[in-house]
Amino acid sequence: MGDHTVPSRGTATSALPRPFYRLAVGDAVSSYGSQLNMVALSLFAYQAAGSAIGTAGYLVLRLLGGFGAGLLAGRVVARVDRRLLMVGCAFTQATGLVALALVPEHLRIPVLYPLALLFGSAGTLSAVALRSSVPEMVGPQLRARANGVLVTGRSTAMVLGFASAGVLVAWAGFHAALLTDAASFAVFGAVVLRLPLRTRSDGGAEAAAPVRPGGRWAGLVLLRALPVVGAMVAIRLVDAFGSAAHNIGLPVFATQHAPGNPAGVLGLFWATWAVGSLGAHQLVSRLMLKRGREPGERAFAVGTALMSACFILAFTGLPTPLFLVVALGAGLADGFTEISYTTRVQAVDDDRRGQAFGLVASAESLGMGVGMLLSAGLMERFSPLTVVGFSHAVPIALAAGFLLLVGVGARRRRAPAAPADRALSDPA
CATH code for the domain of 174: 1.20.1250.20
> ∠ CA(188), CA(43), CA(119), 5° rounding?
35
Note the pLDDT of residue 11.
43
Buried b (16+ CB within 10 A) or exposed e, 12-24: beeebbeebebbb
Same domain for 145 and 249, yes or no, is no
Q: List the chain pLDDT tens, one digit each, 428 residues.
A: 444 444 333 344 468 899 999 999 999 999 998 888 777 777 777 777 776 667 778 888 899 999 999 989 888 998 889 999 999 999 999 999 999 988 887 788 888 889 999 999 999 999 999 999 999 999 888 888 899 899 889 888 887 877 777 778 778 888 888 899 999 999 999 999 999 988 876 544 444 444 444 444 455 555 555 678 888 889 999 999 999 999 888 888 888 888 887 767 877 888 888 888 888 877 777 776 666 566 778 889 999 999 999 999 999 999 989 999 999 999 999 999 988 889 888 888 887 888 889 888 999 999 998 888 888 888 888 999 999 999 999 999 999 999 888 776 666 666 654 454 444 344 43
Same domain for 67 and 161, yes or no, is yes
Same domain for 122 and 243, yes or no, is no
Torsion of CA 234, 235, 238, 243, to 10 degrees: -140
β-pair partners for 82: none
Same domain for 173 and 221, yes or no, is no
Same domain for 160 and 276, yes or no, is no
What residues contact 360, with CB distance under 8 A and at least 6 apart?
70, 232, 233, 236, 341, 345
Same domain for 225 and 171, yes or no, is no
Same domain for 190 and 291, yes or no, is no
Q: Does the residue 423 lie in any domain?
A: no
Q: Does the residue 211 lie in any domain?
A: no
Measured distance CA(121)–CA(65) in Å, rounded: 5
Q: Of 171, 202, 233, which marks where a domain is finished? A: 202
Same domain for 39 and 163, yes or no, is yes
Note the pLDDT of residue 313.
96
Note the pLDDT of residue 416.
58
- Count up the domains in the chain and report the number: 2
Same domain for 156 and 50, yes or no, is yes
Note the pLDDT of residue 193.
94
Q: Within 13 A of 36's CA, how many CA atoms are on the CB side?
A: 29
Q: Of 202, 231, 249, which marks where a domain is finished? A: 202
Q: What is the 3-state secondary structure (H, E, C) of the chain?
A: CCCCECCCHHHHCCCCCHHHHHHHHHHHHHHHHHHHHHHHHHHHHHHHHCCHHHHHHHHHHHHHHHHHHHHHHHHHHHHCCHHHHHHHHHHHHHHHHHHHHHCCHHHHHHHHHHHHHHHHHHHHHHHHHHHHHHHHHHCHHHHHHHHHHHHHHHHHHHHHHHHHHHHHHHHHHHHHHHHHHHHHHHHHHHHHHCCCCCCCCCCCCCCCCCCCCCHHHHHHHHHHHCHHHHHHHHHHHHHHHHHHHHHHHHHHHHHHHCCCCHHHHHHHHHHHHHHHHHCHHHHHHHHCHHHCECCCHHHHHHHHHHHHHHHHHHCCCCCHHHHHHHHHHHHHHHHHHHHHHHHHHCCCCHHHHHHHHHHHHHHHHHHHHHHHHHHHHHCCCCCHHHHHHHHHHHHHHHHHHHHHHHHHHHHHHHCCCCHHHHHHCCCC
Note the pLDDT of residue 133.
93
Of the candidates 57, 55, 56, the residue with the CA atom closest to the CA atom of residue 40 = 55
Q: Does the residue 5 lie in any domain?
A: no
Same domain for 154 and 250, yes or no, is no
Identify the domain containing residue 378 by its residue range: 217-415
Note the pLDDT of residue 187.
96
Note the pLDDT of residue 393.
96
Of the candidates 130, 140, 121, the residue with the CA atom closest to the CA atom of residue 83 = 130
Measured distance CA(15)–CA(20) in Å, rounded: 10
Q: Does the residue 180 lie in any domain?
A: yes
Backbone angles phi, psi at 5, to 5 degrees: -90, 130
Q: Does the residue 62 lie in any domain?
A: yes
Four-residue CA torsion sign, 349, 354, 360, 366: negative
Same domain for 41 and 96, yes or no, is yes
Q: Does the residue 8 lie in any domain?
A: no
Q: Does the residue 7 lie in any domain?
A: no
Same domain for 230 and 366, yes or no, is yes
Q: What is the largest CA-CA distance in the chain?
A: 70
Q: Does the residue 288 lie in any domain?
A: yes
Q: Of 202, 228, 244, which marks where a domain is finished? A: 202
